[in-house]
């Protein structure tokens, strides 16, 4: 099953990269499917199929992967408008709202998404859900100061809150030096309303609800590739 899902991810990644043209500024997302897109983009650059690409990575680990692939990198200060971003998602609802942040890069991913003229999400079909929160917790980045009060606030909204930890049991820190609370809300009837409540709370830096940011979603599955737009 895992090998099949990996094939789906590869198919979705390659389809998204096909939209990149020479000379573009490209946002490089995080996660397993987005990493496959980075690898394929690097291959096309080495083969000379694409030229003069500038990558804007959304995480330090993404930047390291891109450098290994020989992708030239810059920052949003150098290129404030991104032509096309390819990123993954943990869940996608029928309105193309997303849960993101499983890889811990949600804040930079959202900054890159908001700077992008076109945001293509690449997923395998298992990521499509009738409602966000169906099977995935919402990652929420909080500053360490006063994080206990943020936990209580999130619990008051109905979340089961767990601080993210690394495999060795130590606390996970984002590239900004913050914590991530993985918050299980169950199916979320109104993700925009929840996003508004999270946005209004001091101490919550960012959350993994991406509302209205995806231009299109490329889904790979047993029936082939689907390209979903609103």
Is the C-alpha dihedral spanning 171, 172, 178, 182 positive or negative? Answer: negative
Question: Which residue in the list 14, 68, 77, 109 is annotated as catalytic?
Answer: 109
Question: For the chain, how far is it from start to end, CA to CA, in angstroms?
Answer: 30
Quote the pLDDT of residue 1: 55
Given a contact cutoff of 8 angstroms between Cβ atoms, the answer to whether 175 and 141 are in contact is no
User: What pLDDT score does 3 carry?
Assistant: 81
- List domains and CATH numbers for the chain: 2-128+211-221 (3.40.50.1360), 138-206 (3.30.70.260)
Instruction: Please compute Rg for the chain using Cα positions.
Output: 17
Per-residue pLDDT of the chain (230 residues; tens, 9 = 90+): 588 888 888 999 999 999 999 999 999 999 888 999 999 999 999 999 999 999 999 999 999 999 999 999 999 999 999 999 999 999 999 999 999 999 999 999 999 999 999 999 999 999 999 999 999 999 999 999 999 999 999 999 999 999 999 999 999 999 999 999 999 999 999 999 999 999 999 999 999 999 999 989 999 988 889 999 98
Indicate if 109 belongs to the active site: yes
Confirm if 63 and 38 have CB atoms less than 8 A apart.
Answer: no
Q: What Cα–Cα distance (Å) separates residue 13 from each residue in 37, 45, 129, 136?
A: 5, 15, 20, 22
pTM value surpassing 0.85:
yes
Query: In the numeric block, which tokens belong to residue 100?
Result: 């993101």
Contact between 66 and 42 (Cβ < 8 Å): yes
């Amino acid at each position: 099953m895992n090998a099949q899902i990996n094939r789906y991810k590869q198919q979705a990644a390659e389809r998204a990269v096909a939209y990149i043209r020479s000379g573009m500024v490209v946002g490089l997302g995080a996660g397993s499917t987005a990493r496959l897109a980075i690898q394929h983009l690097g291959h096309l650059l080495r083969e000379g199929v694409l030229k003069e690409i500038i990558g804007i990575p959304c995480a330090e680990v993404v930047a390291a992967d891109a450098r290994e692939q020989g992708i030239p990198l810059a920052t949003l200060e150098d290129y404030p408008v991104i032509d096309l971003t390819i990123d993954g998602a943990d869940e996608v609802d029928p309105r193309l709202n997303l849960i993101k942040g499983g890889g811990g890069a949600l804040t930079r991913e959202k900054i890159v998404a908001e700077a992008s003229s076109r945001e293509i999400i690449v997923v395998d079909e298992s990521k499509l859900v009738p409602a966000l929160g169906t099977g995935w917790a919402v990652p929420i980045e909080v500053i360490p100061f006063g994080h206990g009060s943020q936990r209580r606030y999130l619990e008051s909204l109905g979340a089961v809150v767990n601080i993210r930890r690394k495999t060795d049991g130590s606390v996970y820190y984002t590239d900004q030096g913050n914590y991530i609370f993985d918050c299980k809300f169950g199916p979320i009837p109104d993700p925009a309303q929840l996003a508004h409540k999270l946005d209004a709370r001091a101490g919550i830096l960012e959350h993994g609800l991406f509302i209205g940011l995806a231009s299109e979603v490329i889904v790979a599955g047993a029936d082939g590739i689907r390209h979903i737009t609103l």
